[in-house]
Amino acid sequence: MSVSARETYLAAEVLTAPPQKLHLLLVEGAIRACEKARNCWRENKPDQAAESLIRAQEIMSELVAGLNRQADPQLVRQVAALYLFIYRNLLEAAFLRDEKKLDDALRVLREERTTWQLVCQGKPGDPSLANPGESAGNSHATQPSAPTADSHAAPPRAPVGLAELSPEQASFSLDA
């Protein structure tokens, strides 16, 4: 596919995508940027690696900035902490050229991608995706929730890989 055709396709996809698909596209963009940075490090292209990590950091900043803080404040704090964990690891990876920090960020990003792929596969109007916490006895209470048009609230489940993090690694304050 030519560059022009690819750009046209991507532009059409972005302009017609629902909010949850846009969120997924951003997460996938961050993953691609991280993987490109790793490849640039291996090819001894530190400047290109730095540019890729900056792009991934910008995406994470946008995801944090796009959170709807009125939707569910506790959930938003948890999601923001997750995104800030990724952002901090990207910063440290860039500054220290540390592949382990990059791996930590990528592990969480990949879990996030899987979650948002599930959200995007949900059927419109599916009550299990609308308000998962509405009924505590509901067997769908752990399903990811689809964000509203004006929010980017992530699903109410923590990625599996997050359980491996220490409390210091996974906690942040948004009050600063």
pLDDT of residue 124: 55
105 band by pLDDT with thresholds 50, 70 and 90: very high
> For the segment 60-80, what is each residue's pLDDT rounded down to a tens digit?
999 999 998 888 999 999 999
pLDDT of residue 153: 41
Domains and CATH numbers, the chain: 3-170 (1.20.120.340)
Do residues 63 and 152 make contact, with C-beta atoms less than 8 angstroms apart? yes
- Sequence-separated contacts (24+) of 119-123 with Cβ below 8 Å: 119/20, 119/23, 119/24, 119/144, 119/145, 119/146, 119/147, 119/155, 120/18, 120/20, 120/21, 120/24, 122/146
